[in-house]
A and B are shown apart, each in its own frame.
Chain A
């Protein structure tokens, strides 16, 4: 890089000023405010209950132990939840990508009769919806309540994601599809062999959005699924965290602890295992979604 090229770039011009150091300090403090709670959670999950009682502020476990995780495994509920969520993801992700990309591609391409009307049908669902009771009754009449399918199907299409994808597809050069058409390729073939391979950033973004949606979903499951052995991870986690902590304000938290059967360490272990998958996939996909959102979200 020549000196000239460097100088042209705004953020590399000049020396560090007071403002720069101030900025670094502020950002570092903000980052610590995010990181410390996580460190605290992990440290507690790896400590014996006695250590926590002595020092709730710990950021590193003094006597590391996996007891909380073992107890959690023995309880089994979180494992069942994990498996149920995995089932939902394995079926739900391909289905949602299929539903979203077919419609997004159709709506992004050349004009056809009824295009505006169908787009409006999609857009309208973002402004207005039937609410939970009619949805529940529809689910019931389709005999889907009490089955994981209810959660999978409800989560497998989002107008917002469809519009993001549609905007991305619109940005692809029309000549590619035109030449494929001249070669006799049908629209389905064009979608799968030309458009999708070119759409890695948006596919990664949308996969992340649906994946996170399925991973974090609990409300639909709470309403549509009634059996405990069917509940996804988040619902199990809710039982462990929220419902057993109703009296966190009281000093008698030891009593509450004995009643719920979950130690603080176990609770924090369950929080940690629930976020591990997101921690693993998030940095990989992050570089894509800034671009993906950029192309779609702002100009709808």
Chain B
């Protein structure tokens, strides 16, 4: 390398712009060596696959590889958009995830407010542990629990039957699929979501509460006039993050909770991509085109939501 060849004396003598640039690089040579392992990873497992997206514009031939296959322009996309199951999967993904987002989003905020109002510190810690725990289990483990609790002869239906109430076919009916996704998502994720909001609440200046108390504000007034307004920026950021993932959210959950009876209503975009790629066909160009579409829509959603958040005066995701 050039900079390495320069001795310290010669380096000092160089005054031109490019010379000082080399000098800067040479000065930080140790820092660059720290970056190498991470960069190798990024190139191999993030950027090479991104280059592989060129397959969406090619006709993939296994013996030619990604780079050798011939270009076909937008040919693959024509087939993608003509495929009715693709369009169905897109709308279903958006439908499921938007409804899920709207219904589940307030729960972590509510739980954070509840926990924050709890006076006993020890109980607060204990509750946090209990509520956060399910988030760290895989959807496979959780679906084992869910199948056990919600199946036809499981915990909940047995309890309903005992109380003389009608039993509900949670797992095997198309109609109950979305409500079941929402319930299980709230069960698994609310506690973890609340941690972020609790962190935001703990960052609120205590003086505000004290002066409010002196002014005689009730606890309810304190919640609505101090706590909630103060965590709005965090709420916005969390909402943006969720909007940005609308096209890919919930795959693990849906893939593991779906069964033969709910096959039709569970075919969201990611399930569709998995099936056309590794189960029904191996037309890699076609499924890459679908993937690319999904990634682009996700990116646009995220950036748009970020822009909206900034326009509303929030922090946004990227500064």
Contact = CB atoms under 8 A, between A and B. Distances in A.
Interface of A: 8, 10-13, 16, 19-20, 23-24, 26-27, 30-31, 33-38, 40-41, 44, 55-57, 98-100, 102-103, 105-107, 109, 112-113, 118, 121-123, 125, 127-138, 141-142, 153-154, 156-157, 162, 186-188, 191, 208, 212, 215-216, 218-219, 223, 234, 237-238, 241-242, 245-251, 253, 264, 267-268, 270-271, 274-275, 278-279, 282-283, 286, 290, 293-294, 297-300
10 contacts: A57-B162, A102-B35, A112-B31, A125-B42, A129-B50, A134-B66, A156-B41, A249-B171, A294-B202, A300-B317
Contacts of A99: 37-38, 41
B106 interface: no
Contact of B38 (A100, A242, A270): A100
Given A105-B34, A241-B140, A242-B143, A157 B134 contact: no
Contacts of B37: 98-99, 102-103
Interface in B120-157: 121, 123, 127-134, 136-138, 140-141, 143-145, 147-149, 151-155
B92 interface: no
Contacts of A157: 38, 41-42, 45
B91 interface: no
A131 B49 contact: yes
B148 A298 contact: no
B133 A249 contact: no
A138 B145 contact: no
B151 A248 contact: yes
Given A34-B133, A218-B140, A290-B199, A27 B219 contact: no
**Chain A contact residues, majority secondary structure:** helix
Contact of B141 (A30, A271, A286): A271
Interface stretch (B5-13, B94-102, B256-264): B256-264
Contact of B144 (A57, A106, A241, A278): A241
Contact of B137 (A40, A122, A247, A275): A275
Given A37-B148, A40-B148, A238 B52 contact: no
Residue among A127, A135, A154, A294 with most chain B CB within 10 A:
A127
B41 A134 contact: no
B72 to A, nearest CB: 16
B30 A187 contact: yes
| Complex A-B, nearest 3 residue pairs according to Cβ-Cβ distance, in ascending order | A249-B172, A134-B52, A130-B49
Nearest to A251: B152
A253 B302 contact: no
A218 B138 contact: yes
A41 B317 CA distance: 40
Contacts of A223: 278
Given A57-B162, A249-B169, A290-B195, A34 B134 contact: yes
B49 A138 contact: yes
Nearest to B117: A23
Residue among A57, A134, A135, A156 with most chain B CB within 10 A:
A134
A300 to B, nearest CB: 6
Nearest to A283: B129
Nearest to A122: B42
A278 B318 contact: no
Contacts of A218: 138, 140
A57 B39 contact: no
A241 B138 CA distance: 13
Residue among B34, B155, B299 with most chain A CB within 10 A:
B34
B165 interface: no
A188 B34 contact: yes
B265 interface: no
Contacts of B140: 216, 218, 234, 237-238, 241-242, 274
